[in-house]
Structure 1
Amino acid sequence: MQVKDIEIDQNLRELTQHRTVVLPIACYETAINQNIQGYIPLHWHDEFQFVFIKKGEAVFQINEDSIVVREGDGLFINSGSLHMAEDRNQSNCIYTCLNVSPHFVLSQELYTRYVLPYIQATNLSYLYIDAIAAWGKPVLAAIEEIKKSILQKAPYYEMDITIQLTFIWKNIIMNGFPLEYDQTAMVKNQRMKQMINWIHQHYTEKVLLEDIARAGQLSRSECCRYFKQHLKTTPLRYVIHYRIQQSLSLLQQADSNVTEVAYQVGFNSTSYFIDKFRSVMNMTPLVYKRYKMGDCY
């Protein structure tokens, strides 16, 4: 399975159903360059995500950090963490992606003690899984075993998956680091979410830097610093990217046209919309529309 077009709601939450028919889990291969945008766009989900790089290298942005993940290594991305991924040095990166509901990792009796504290920790948005580490290689092998079990569906494969998940999680928490619960970090994350949510609610209107800053109870300069630190971009550039992201579903409607879509998502100039769309998507809105219509028929 290859997810080529990640659907995201107005709060950047991924809409992909991360589950098999009977289990709250999904495991598939992703080729970054095959995504419609040429990269995996910024999003988040409730599920834990485990990544195993099979070929090439990728740059993951997770909250405010940027991490290069090498071929043969992996990554744990915590529940609720904003993240995106780009191919590095045109390596045609391919990775195995395992998404699993935190409530499925362990029984409910063990969840409060061994899972919830790790979701709430402010210093664990991700963990690098190094294949050279004694614990890292078995974890990556277990991810592949889960993928194989889902594909082959041998008798009792569901139980085999739960065994592998328990093994993975035990190694993660045994070989991680002391958890922290920093109140300042929590406040910063909350302000960042408030600003993002304000943009998502008002992107169709005229958006000023002052408005975004006010939503986070920050000055203009602090607002810019937050976006640079967390999202590696400026507030207004983020608005442009989000408007383009919102335009994708509108362009897929058979009776839509580029000018109407441009104004619907907050651009006041069709030519400016086309220019920005091309810079983000590497194609014009019309070419994208024709591409999606071709997928539909």
Structure 2
Amino acid sequence: MQIKNFMIDQNLKELTEHRTVVLPVACYETTINQNINGYIPLHWHDEIQFVLVIKGEAIFQINEDKLVVPQGNGVFINSGCLHMAEEKNKSGCVYICLNVSPHFVLSQELYTTYVIPYIQATNLPYLFIDADKPWGKNILDAIVKINQWIQQKSPCFEIDITMHLALIWKNLIINGFQLEYDQMEMVKSHRMKQMLSWIYLHYAEKITLDDIARAGQLSRSECCRYFKRMLKITPLNYVMDYRIQKSLVLLQQAESNVTEVAYKVGFNSTSYFIERFRKEMNMTPLAYKKSKTDNC
């Protein structure tokens, strides 16, 4: 089942329990534009993720990189990596998403040797899965089969899933990566999550650049560099965009009004909220509220 409104904690960690069967595995189809934001917002999770685009094209941002994934291809997103997704050129993008606990990929005896080095490597936040490469096709075919087994629940399908997860992982690591472990990259990722976490907790309050920088134990200039490098946006513009995201849920509540919502998400001016909302959503908050009410 598609998740249309991502629930995340104060660290931007997704709260969804990725488990659609008795195994620590979740597999479902996602239509990007059906998410409440119109895209998949920034988040992370402990699970590793495999994606197969079955319609249209997707643009994934993983940490600071952007990656276009055309129909028929996929992407591996490593454990703990910040990521978000949007459809490209209004293509109506749909993808199969497979989330798996790293501890379940292989047996415990093999986990230390064949899994930990890859999920801890700082030079493997993601990997494009090319359908034209034999290893890539093997992974993508296995994702399709796992999705079918979860839907159909055929006899012993849990065993089939575990066998194909091992196949997926083997095809991922046979590429012969030269794994790297950069302590500074780990620190940067941690500080970025600290700043995003602070914004998540305090978005409804008055926020200054100094506040955000302090949360990441950085100077103002370093804070700005982190955001521009990772998210291609200034810290305060990110705050504004995040407030707009939070307003979408509130505007869909029948008893809400635009002014109340503006103040609840941290704007101290209704007119400025309307201006920022129109810029982000290409409509006014009232028009958005009416469109969602009419669709109920």
Q: TM-score, normalised by structure 1?
A: 0.91
Q: Which residue of 1 aligns with 2:198?
A: 198
Distance change >3 Å, CA 281–CA 21, structure 1 → 2: farther
Cα-to-partner distance string for 1:196-240 (whole Å, 9 max, x where unaligned):
222223222221112222332333222111101111211011111
Matching residue of 2:161: 161
Give, in whole Å, the separation in 2 of the partners of 1:162 and 1:290: 47
> Is this contact kept in 2: 1:74–1:130, CA < 8 A?
yes
**CA displacement, residues 268-287 of structure 1 (integer Å, 9 cap, x when unaligned):** 01121122223333444344
1:58 aligns with 2:58: yes
Which residue is equivalent to 1:97?
97
| Counterpart code for 1:214 | R
- Whether contact under 8 Å (1:32, 1:93) holds in the other structure is yes
Query: How far apart, in 2, do the equivalents of 1:119 and 1:106 lie?
Result: 13
Partner of 1:226: 226
Given that 1:37 and 1:281 are in contact with CA atoms closer than 8 Å, whether structure 2 keeps it comes out as no
Deviation of 1:43 (Å) = 1.3
Residue type at the aligned position of 1:172? L
Q: Residue 98 of structure 1 aligns to a residue in which SS?
A: strand
* Counterpart position of 2:113: 113
Larger CA deviation: 172-181 vs 45-54: 172-181
Partners of 2:291 and 2:103 in 1: CA distance? 38
Aligned length in residues: 296
Structure 1 residue 246: deviation in Å?
2.6
Summarize the Cα distance change of 1:45–1:293 in structure 2 as closer, same or farther, 3 Å threshold.
farther
* Structure 2: runs of 5 or more not aligned: none
Instruction: Provide the secondary structure at the position in 1 that maps to 2:134.
Output: coil
Deviations 1:155-181 (A, max 9, x none): 100100110101001111222512111
Partner residue, 1:12: 12
Hey, what's the Cα distance between the residues in 1 that align with 2:183 and 2:8?
Answer: 29
> Does 210-219 or 126-135 show the bigger shift?
210-219
Residues 61 and 84 of structure 1 are in contact (CA less than 8 Å); yes or no, is this contact kept in structure 2?
A: yes
1:33 lines up with 2:17 in the alignment: no
Equivalences for residues 229-248 of structure 1 within 5 A: 229-248=229-248
**Does the 8 Å CA contact 1:74/1:128 hold for their aligned counterparts?**
yes
Could you give the per-residue CA deviations for residues 99-131 of structure 1, whole angstroms, max 9, x where no partner exists? 111122122232222222222211111111111
Q: Secondary structure at the match of 1:135?
A: helix
TM-score (norm 2): 0.91
Separation in 2, partners of 1:63, 1:85? 12
* RMSD over equivalenced CA pairs, Å: 2.1
Q: Which amino acid aligns with 2:221?
A: S
Alpha-carbon offset, residue 71 of structure 1: 1.8
Q: Distance in 2 between matches of 1:137 and 1:68?
A: 18
The answer to which of 148-157 and 85-94 deviates more is 85-94
Is the 2:62–2:81 Cα contact (8 Å) retained in structure 1?
Answer: yes
Report which stretch shifted further, 86-95 or 244-253. Answer: 244-253
Gaps of 5+ in 1: none
For structure 1, which segment, 245-254 or 19-28, has the greater mean C-alpha deviation from structure 2 after superposition?
Answer: 245-254
Taking a change above 3 Å as real, the CA distance of residues 84 and 241 of structure 1, as seen in their structure-2 partners, is: same
Does residue 266 of structure 2 align to residue 266 of structure 1? yes
Deviation at 1:254, TM superposition (A): 4.4
C-alpha separation between the residues in 1 aligned to 2:61 and 2:90?
17
